[in-house]
Structure 1
Amino acid sequence: MRLRHKPGAKDFLEKHPEFVTLNPTDWKGKWGKRFGNTHPIHLEIGTGKGRFIVEMAKTYPEINFIGIELQTSVVISVLEKQLEEKLPNLQILQLDAANLKEFFEVNEVARIYLNFSDPWPKNRHEKRRLTYRTFLESYSSVMDNSGELILKTDNQNLFEYSLVSFSEFGMTLKEVWLNLHESSFEGNIMTEYEEKFSKKGNRIYRVIATFNN
Structure 2
Amino acid sequence: MPLPVSGLTEYTIVVDGQQLRYRMGTQAWTTFVWPNPSSQPGASIRAKDYDGRDFTVFEEAGSFGVEKLINSARRTELGNDIFEMAWSGDGITISVRFRIISGSGSSTTTGQGRSTNPFTGMKLPEEIIALGVTRTARPISDDNAVDGDTPNAGSGTNQPVPTGEQNTSNVTPPARVSTVVPNTNSENSPPVQPPTDTTTATDDRSAVTEQQEQTP
TM-score (ref. length: structure 2): 0.23
Structure holding more helix per residue: 1
Larger radius of gyration: 2
Q: Answer 1 or 2: higher relative contact order, Cα 8 Å, separation at least 6.
A: 1
